[in-house]
Amino acid sequence: MTGLSDSFQRPIDYLRISVTDRCNLRCIYCMPAEGINLLPHEDVLSYEEIHRIAVTAAELGIKKVRITGGEPLVRIGLSSLIRMLAQIEAIDDIALTTNGTLLAQYADELKAAGLRRVNISLDTLKPDKFKLITRGGDFYHVLEGINAAGAAGLNPIKINVVVMAGSNDDELLDFARKTIEEGWHVRFIEQMPFNREFADSSFVPVNEMQERLAALGELEPSTVKGNGPAKYYRLPRAKGTIGFITPVSQHFCFRCNRLRLTADGKLRPCLLSEREVDLRHPLRQGISAEELKKLIKRAVDSKPRQHKLAQGCVPQDRPFSQVGG
């Protein structure tokens, strides 16, 4: 087999890059109200360092990149990183996951720099509730961001919704109607238990979501461009799709194709395992391209067969927002 594959013969061609652990929101399922202990600035990889890792990873077989965070758009000059990544010939897809609050400002320049697509996290269609879930965010900024991304041609735009009982599960049908009325691509995500107490009381499994959505008609299997684990469906007459992401109730580790680079330069083979390979120190000590390749391969080789969420194992070493979701 050409390209990268791990010890379980899974092809690895997708790199998720967290460019910052900073965020302008405090979503209840992701961060504590007081925020997290932030990485010192000098520990965060420069764009040049990220670019060097991406070039080497692309030589090994990485073809797709997603920029995430924290909130990636709070980092100054993100478009310049996109431009650098877009020049790597072997990388044919560059996407961004964002909370959308700053997207109206940057959508055009991101598109011009070479960004293809965006996923926007939006857990409610109600401004007051949005303020509660994000602890202070402005719903209308996200709406402006969605519209700006559409106008800039960052398609398909996918809306990520983490479903929480007693909080936004009453809006499942409203989000689903958006796929009919506005052609949105909505993805319902099972909550992962990073905030254990909250997740235990508010978890909604995907099969329950699907039962409730049946009120709007039969879900026909569908597809939409992407590299992730979502399974897509379409309601009768809908232009948009409904995706389901089931990290908890039906893990998708057997087809996992990704590596993650943390903002401080650790290559993490699995979101839900504490294993990581440090690239920052070797990079700053002048490592050769060949040695860097070996470290990337070491991370790939150490990719676990599957996560252990079902056994209650959640990584404790880093907040989720540092690994990049």
User: Interface with ligand SF4 includes 322 (CB under 6 A)?
Assistant: no
Q: Minimal distance in Å, beta carbon 163 to ligand SAM?
A: 9
- DSSP per residue over 75-123, as a string? STTHHHHHHHHHT-TT--EEEEEE-STTHHHHHHHHHHHT--EEEEE--
Entry field: residues in the chain: 325
Q: Tokens for 54?
A: 């991406």
Q: Which is nearer to ligand SF4, 160 or 257 (CB)?
A: 160
The listed partner (ligand SAM, ligand SF4, none) that binds 31, CB under 5 to 8 Å by sort, is ligand SF4
The answer to whether residues 132 and 168 touch, using CB atoms and an 8 Å cutoff, is: no
Residues forming a β-bridge with 18: 68
Q: Which is nearer to ligand SF4, 96 or 238 (CB)?
A: 96
Q: Which is nearer to ligand SF4, 83 or 268 (CB)?
A: 268
Candidate segments 53-61, 79-87, 178-186, 189-197, binder of ligand SAM by CB under 6 A: 189-197
User: Interface with ligand SF4 includes 190 (CB under 6 A)?
Assistant: no
The listed partner (ligand SF4, ligand SAM, none) that binds 194, CB under 5 to 8 Å by sort, is ligand SAM
With both helix axes pointing from N to C terminus, report the angle between 139-152 and 127-134 in degrees, rounded to the nearest 10: 100
CA distance 288 to 281: 13
Q: Identify residues 266-325 at the interface with ligand SAM (CB under 6 A).
A: 320-321, 325
Q: Which is nearer to ligand SAM, 216 or 261 (CB)?
A: 261
The site string for ligand SF4 over 145-184 (x = CB under 6 A, - otherwise) reads: ----------------------------------------
The answer to whether residues 184 and 240 touch, using CB atoms and an 8 Å cutoff, is: yes
Q: Identify residues 17-36 at the interface with ligand SF4 (CB under 6 A).
A: 23, 25-27, 30-31
- Select from 325, 27, 37, 70 the least CA-distant residue to 198: 27
Q: Which is nearer to ligand SAM, 29 or 233 (CB)?
A: 29
Q: Identify residues 55-84 at the interface with ligand SAM (CB under 6 A).
A: 68-69, 71
Q: Check residue 104 and give left, alpha or beta (phi > 0: left; psi -120 to 50: alpha).
A: alpha
- Backbone φ and ψ for 121, nearest 5 degrees, come out as -85, 125
Candidate segments 3-11, 107-115, 187-195, 251-259, binder of ligand SAM by CB under 6 A: 187-195
Collapsing DSSP to helix, strand or coil, 185 comes out as: strand
Binding residues (CB under 6 A) for ligand SF4: these are 23, 25-27, 30-31, 69-71, 99, 121, 321
